[in-house]
Structures are given as C-alpha cells and as structure tokens.
Homo-oligomer: A and B are copies of this chain.
Amino acid sequence: MDDVRNRRIVLAARPQGRPVPSDFRIEEVPAPTPREGEILLQVLTLSLDPYMRGRMDAAKSYAAPVEVGGVMEGGTVAKVVASRHPGFAPGEIVLSHSGWQTYALSDGTGLRKLDPAQAPVSTALGVLGMPGFTAYAGLLAIGRPKPGETVVVAAASGPVGSAVGQIARIKGARAVGIVGGADKLAFVRDELGFDAVVDHRAPDLPGQLHGACPEGIDIYFENVGGAVWDAVFPLLNTFARIPVCGLIAQYSEAGPFPGPDRLPLMMRQVLTKSFTLRGFIQREFADQRPAFYRDMAGWIADGRVRYREDVVDGLEAAPQAFIGMLEGRNFGKLLVRVSAG
C-alpha cells in the first residue's frame, strides 16, 4: 500500500470556547501497512457527535482527551482493504473507532462486523449504534417511563432525541420534543409522531413548554443543558427522573458563570420533589446491548422507529460540519461520507 495516502484531521489547538476551523488541521501521510495480526481499514463513513467537543479539552472526563497534534477520534464504518488477521477478510464492513481519517490500522479489538443486507451500515453509527443505545439505556434503565407519563427531550430531531421520544411512545408515554427551527418541528411532529413539539427559538419557551406539558414532566432526558433546562425545571413533577447524557449548550463555556446561583434552588427541588438526577454514558449499560439490537431492529422494521441522516461529503468538510452541529445546524444524525467504499 505504499502508494496509498492517508488523509487525517488532527487537533491543531485546544479551543477557547467554541471551536473554530483553525483548531483543526488536515495532514496527508503514507497509509500504514498492516503487520501480522493487523488489518488495514478504509473509512467509509465518519460519525460526528457532541461528545467529541469534550475530547478537545484537556480537562479530565470519563475519557482521555485528544492530544494536540493527535487524530480527532470518532466512530466509523470502514471496509477491510488488507488483512493479516485470520478473523477478517478484505471487503468486509466493520464498525470501528478509527477517527477522522481515511485509513487506519486495527488489531481487531472492538470491531463489529456489519451485514449490509440487514440494515444500511450507516445506522451502526446512529439509530442502531451509540446514539440509539444512549437513548435506549438512559430512557429505559434510568428514566423508566410508565404509560401516561410525559417524557421531554431536546434536540429531538437528532439521533438521541428522536430515539428517546419514539421509544417513550412505544412504552406508552407521552413524548414532547424541543427543536430549533420550523423544519425540524414539522419533522418531529409529522414524521416521528411526537405528541407535541416546541421550538426553542420561539419567544416564551417556558410558556410554550408548559402548554405542551399540561400535566408536568415526569422524565426529562437531558442532552443539551442551558436555557432548555431553565424552561424544564419548574415543570418537573414529584419523582421526576433526569438522565443526563449531554450538555451540548454549555460544552464550550468555561466559567465562572455569572449569578444568580441556581444551585440552592435546584437542590431544594431535588429534595422536596424527590428528583433523581443521573449522569451516564452508554457503555455502563453494555449488558443491555443485545436487547437493544433486538428491540431497535424490530422497531425499525415495523416502522415504529424512524431516523434521519444528515450526510456531508468528504473528510475535509468534517470540521465545519462539527462546528455547525454544536450550533444545532445539522438536521438528523450527522455523518461524513469519507470514501465511496
């Protein structure tokens, strides 16, 4: 493979607040050559997800940060193009974590083979992958919706939010989505079948959300933070459950944050209304993945779960698409088509 070039996007600088294009740099180097026990993967599709913003900071989190100069990490669908590993043959399609680049080596650890005949392979990065499982595990294991309860989720046209609301409805709960923009609102209401949808850009978000939740909120699936939290908070019912899987609205804010201090009132409400607030990442619930694959594949097959992908073309488009996602400019699961496969 000596004549094959690997293009990759590295972290050029740690962002100060919102990432800008100069925080990324594209490089071209010779593609690596697999040694015994290794395979060479060609990335077909790269997934862009909000958690990547956290990896760009040096701060300790549940995962190590990307080093400055290091390849941006990310989930990918890739094709085996050369193999010196007995378990993989050229032409096979796998789910991998190859990052923002066109080629990557693997020793097979953590790879999952995908069958293009069963489902479009890109769904392994979305509704049948990490985002879908985040929705499934957080809603069912932490939220535990009961029939008739009200479930609220923001970024409702995105891969996590859209699954949260649709699974909530399958479990007999009422799904209320929060979105940014009229096109997303129409999609979530008409295509996904949420019971109510509110546009967070509309004036009087608190009042509109109140109108959409006349019996209060039993589960708030928190994936955005910021102003949406302030609208949700007064509507939370006694025994409300709040799975927290993301805070995209505040990922780029460093603090300290101006007052008033909202923590004392929050703690008082946690106490007097017996709230459960629970941060999580999906891999904590790994034992439920088989049930997820079975349930979700069935729901997609019978049309009860729908999904939307937002695909941009070419690795070099990734930084701008990622920056746009943090501002809510994607519409559906954001994917980068890296090579035609």
Contacts and interface: CB of A to CB of B under 8 A. Distances in A.
A109 interface: no
Contacts of A274: 62, 278-281, 284
Nearest to A245: B271
A246 B264 contact: no
A174 B160 CA distance: 39
B284 A271 contact: no
Given A259-B258, A272-B54, A284-B274, A264 B225 contact: yes
B271 A246 contact: yes
Nearest to A142: B276
Interface residues of A, number: 42
Given A258-B260, A274-B278, A275-B278, 18 more contacts: A60-B272, A62-B274, A222-B267, A244-B267, A247-B271, A255-B265, A256-B260, A257-B265, A258-B259, A259-B260, A261-B261, A262-B262, A263-B266, A273-B279, A274-B281, A274-B284, A275-B279, A276-B277
A295 interface: no
Interface in A58-90: 60-62
B62 A238 contact: yes
A114 B227 CA distance: 53
A267 B247 CA distance: 8
A6 interface: no
Interface of A: 54, 60-62, 222, 225, 229, 238, 244-247, 250, 253, 255-281, 284
Count the copies.
2
Contacts of A246: 271
Most chain B beta-carbon neighbours within 10 Å: one of A238, A267, A270, A272? A267
A71 to B, nearest CB: 22
A277 B275 contact: yes
Nearest to A269: B279
A265 B268 CA distance: 17
A216 to B, nearest CB: 13
A243 to B, nearest CB: 10
